[in-house]
Structure 1
Amino acid sequence: MSTPNAHPASPVIIVSGLSGSGKSVALKTFEDLDYYCIDNLPVELLPAFVRSLIRDDVLSQKVAVGIDVRSRHSDLGRLAQWRAALAELGLEARLLFFDASDEALLRRYADTRRRHPLSQQGQGLSLSEAIVRERQMIEPLRAEADTIIDTSALNVHQLRRRIISEFAAERGAALSLLFESFAYKRGVPADADFVFDARVLPNPHWKPELRPFSGRDPAVREFLDAQADVAEYVAQVSAFLDTWLPRLRGETRSYVTIAFGCTGGKHRSVYLAETLARHARAQGWEEVATYHRELD
């Protein structure tokens, strides 16, 4: 008999749903929120995987697991059995299911030109047929879901915000922060709470050796770190946020978006979003995520 977990942990979040419905975005968002994430886990391995986390004391961290039809030899209809096995370990498994209309899925596959997982498995299915077949295969998971999110009308940004706001709220966090980068040529994010213009700063785009990289890459960070104007900008924005963000904790909101814009949304704005997100974490904010509109 397995020994229940002696230290109560956050629920293990099982992320599932239709291919193209937003599962990858969800897992990336959970990862940004400091979850320990693993994707494409065969469902029958779920109890063994969680036991290994208990053994290694990883369950002191929040955990999210992706399970879907890519594990083609798994019996998805036995999820209830595997969830019961986790309950014997003293843990709750919460199933978060992502759905979308056929029209939305067809449009997304057309936009990305990706192949459907069932088409990749040599079953000779058209995209429409693969979507229908996947709905049939994954219906047992949908029937078991604790929460179903229909992403048909949601873009990536809206989906990330919904995950951040819902999961921050249920864990009792007063406020979660999303640091976003964007390109002014594509417009200012409509739902940003604070917007900072980075176009006044030196532009790595004009350095041919830096142009292929983004603000996430070490070469661009090192270039911007060395600029006096950038250091002053970061210091002043940090001081502003340190002063005013804590005063938003008492409001009835669960998240705040801080957006940084530059010309192309690739270098300066990305650098600033990442830099200020690190600063926020260092200041003790627990729920901090980043989103780079032109990259993600």
Structure 2
Amino acid sequence: MTASDTSPAASDSLTLHGDPDKQRILLVTGVLGAGKSTALRALEDLGWETIDNFPIRFLERLLDTNQEDQHVDGHPMGGPLAIGFDSRTRGFDPQAVIALVKRLSLRPDIELTTLYLDCGVGELERRYNETRRRHHLASDMPVATGISAERDMMEPLRRWADIVINTTAFTTNALQQAMREQFAPDSGPALTLTITSFGFSKGMPPLADFVFDMRFLNNPHWDKVLRPMTGREGPVGDFIREDPAFDEAFTRIRDLLLLLLPRFQAQGKAYVHIAFGCTGGRHRSVFMAEQIGAALRASGFSPTMIHRNLGSRAADLVEGSAVR
């Protein structure tokens, strides 16, 4: 299985993360059914502006349009632009596309890269059979005939492309991951992290990715001095820390999150919601949420803290006598 490879036409100094002084342009093409739409969606999630099914012969005109408006102090303002096209484009001519790319590559204001998505004939046939779509080059013939004709037509572009990704053995998620590896910013995709404390007596928060139940810890509610306080105040924190189970629980939860969050980030997950619950949502859950939030910030994350029930009056909270 070939995830990606650089063609002989590519320069040894090919830069995937771009020159900040140039408009970054990525041409995305390949055989139909190889995953162009999925690749463009992945690029859009990474912050690229995308245009699909673009008449490639108009590319030069597009880049020249409002060129002066796209620059301030000599630096381009526009973000990276990905343009998808394929053999269905009217008047499609691979040799003309290559000539256009050669000409545009000489321009000092843009950085142009060509990505070609390829796929084996057998897998393409299977995909066409699953979707029941007709191949535009085989309207009244077997789909294999159209696939073969298209591969012959596209071969010059495949040989010319800077980057070739073979998707034969790829799932949709695998192709998205390959796109992130090739074209994500150097800092990686952003992860929006939310940490919530809540009280089970008021219901669980919807759509949380992780829910940790803190009701196994000693409950400050039963201390008349601590009851009016919250988990953000020192005496409550000291009380919870004295529980023999706290240190190990905190360490295991922290380590689990530090293991999983970078993996979610690498998979392109945009949002992660971590929730800590206790009975009323004022003491144990608040303290643990604050402690985990501080640990994650120390590891480079930027969590948003939400204490859902912190404004509830202590007298309004239901604390069963069996919950200690």
| TM-score normalised over the length of structure 1 | 0.57
The residue type paired with residue 176 of structure 2 is R
Deviation at 1:258, TM superposition (A): 7.5
**Paired position in structure 2 for 1:131:** 147
CA contact (8 A) 1:99 1:148 kept: yes
Contact 1:19 1:117 in 2 (8 A): no
2:178 equivalent in structure 1: 162
- CA drift of 1:85 comes to 3.4
Matches within 5 A, 1:193-272: 229-230=204-205, 233=208, 255-257=265-267
**Letter in structure 1 aligned against 2:177:** R
Change in 2 beyond 3 A, CA 1:82/1:178: farther
Stretches of structure 1 lacking an aligned partner (at least 5 in a row): 1-5, 180-226, 260-272, 277-282, 286-296
Please name the residue that 2:28 is paired with: 15
What value does the CA root-mean-square deviation take over the aligned residues?
3.8
Q: 1:88 to 1:103 in 2, by over 3 A?
A: same
In the alignment, which residue of structure 1 is the partner of 2:160? 144
Cα distance change on mapping 1:115 and 1:235 into 2, 3 Å: same
Which residue does 1:82 correspond to in 2? 100
Residue in structure 2 matched with residue 46 of structure 1 by the alignment: 59
- 2:113 pairs with 1:94: yes
Judge which range, 156-165 or 85-94, deviates more. Answer: 85-94
Aligned to 2:81: 63
The alpha-carbon deviation at position 98 of structure 1 amounts to: 0.6
Structure 2 residue aligned with 1:176, among 176, 189, 201? 189
* Aligned-partner Cα distance in 1 for 2:33–2:265: 26
Cα 1:25–1:70 change in 2 (3 A) is same
**Structure 1 59/30 Cα, relative in aligned 2: closer, same or farther at 3 Å?**
farther
Change (3 A) 1:234 1:106: closer
In structure 2, the residue corresponding to 1:152 is in which secondary structure?
coil
Q: For the residues of structure 2 that align with 1:284 and 1:61, how far apart are their CA atoms?
A: 24
**In 2, Cα distance between equivalents of 1:74 and 1:257:** 35
What is the Cα deviation at residue 14 of structure 1? 0.6
1:146-192: per-residue Cα shift (whole Å, max 9, x none)? 01111101110111011112222xx422x33689xxxxxxxxxxxxx
Taking every aligned residue pair, what percent have the same amino acid on both sides? 29
Aligned residues: 202
C-alpha contact 2:25 2:113 (8 A) present in aligned 1: yes
Checking the alignment, whether the CA contact within 8 Å between 1:14 and 1:93 is kept in structure 2 is: yes
Cα distance in 1, alignment partners of residues 45 and 170 from structure 2:
19
Alpha-carbon distance in 2 for matches of 1:10, 1:24: 22
Maintained 8 Å contact 2:27/2:83: yes
Q: How far apart, CA to CA, are the structure 1 residues paired with 2:43 and 2:158?
A: 20
Per the TM alignment, residue 79 of structure 1 is displaced from its structure 2 partner at its CA by: 2.1
Kept after mapping to 1: 8 A contact 2:46/2:189: no
Between 14-23 and 78-87, the greater mean CA deviation after superposition: 78-87
C-alpha change, 1:255 and 1:235, in structure 2 (3 Å) is: closer
Task: Report the Cα offset of residue 19 of structure 1.
Answer: 0.3
Name structure 2 gaps, 5 residues minimum: 1-18, 71-75, 193-201, 213-252, 274-300, 304-324
What CA distance in whole angstroms lies between the structure 1 residues aligned with 2:98 and 2:210? 51
- Matches of 2:178 and 2:21 in 1, distance apart? 26
Distance verdict in 2 for CA 1:255–1:117, change over 3 Å: farther
Rounded to whole Å, the distance in 2 between the matches of 1:28 and 1:232 is 24
Q: Which has the larger radius of gyration?
A: 2
Offset at 1:231? 5.4
